[in-house]
Homo-oligomer: A and B are copies of this chain.
Amino acid sequence: MAESKGKFVVRKAVAEDLTAVRSLIQELADFEKMSDGPKISVQDLIRDAGLDGGKEYMHCYVAESVGNDAESQSPRVIVGYSICFFSYSTWEGKSYFLEDIYVQPQYRKSGVGRLLFKYVAKKAREYNCPRLDFHVLDWNPARQFYEKLGATDLTSKEGWLFYRMNTTQMEELLKE
């Protein structure tokens, strides 16, 4: 199932898309001021999306600019991506988590981000997930975009904080 609007198409990624997705992941990390974050390879992404026939740990969607194909024969270009996975809520059961959503700066304000976000919401509905959860950095101007789409900041509304234990911290604890 693909969703299109004007010059853009959103669809589930295939293995051939993941090289482009990997470079968009790097762009997003640069934007988040954590350039050395991404440790993952194209092969890891292919495997984790289940595109080698193995277990699917995440779902990857891409937004493509298709130009005016018929007229210009311009090549399709991946301009954005989203990665999601099934989370679980003891209140409502299986839920959907939006790990990443990214659109290249030069393609913003064109409706493609909205198309991609709506595609994810449609997938959540298709999978019977009553929630779509995600994390956003407090200085990220995209917060306005998410709020316009109807999302709520549960940190300010209900006081939910996001905690993490990394490998080093876990090893320290497990040494005891």
Judging by beta carbons under 8 Å apart, are A153 and B163 in contact? yes
Oligomer: number of copies: 2
Count of chain A residues near B, Cβ 8 A: 68
A75 in contact (CB, < 8 A): no
With A86-B85, A94-B57: A149-B173 Cβ-Cβ less than 8 Å: yes
Q: How far is the CA of A135 from the CA of B133 in the complex (A)?
A: 12
A150 to chain B, nearest CB (A): 4
A residues apposed to B, CB below 8 Å: 25, 28-29, 37-40, 44, 48, 57-58, 83, 85-94, 97, 99-100, 117-118, 121-122, 124-125, 130-139, 143, 146, 149-156, 158-167, 169-174, 176
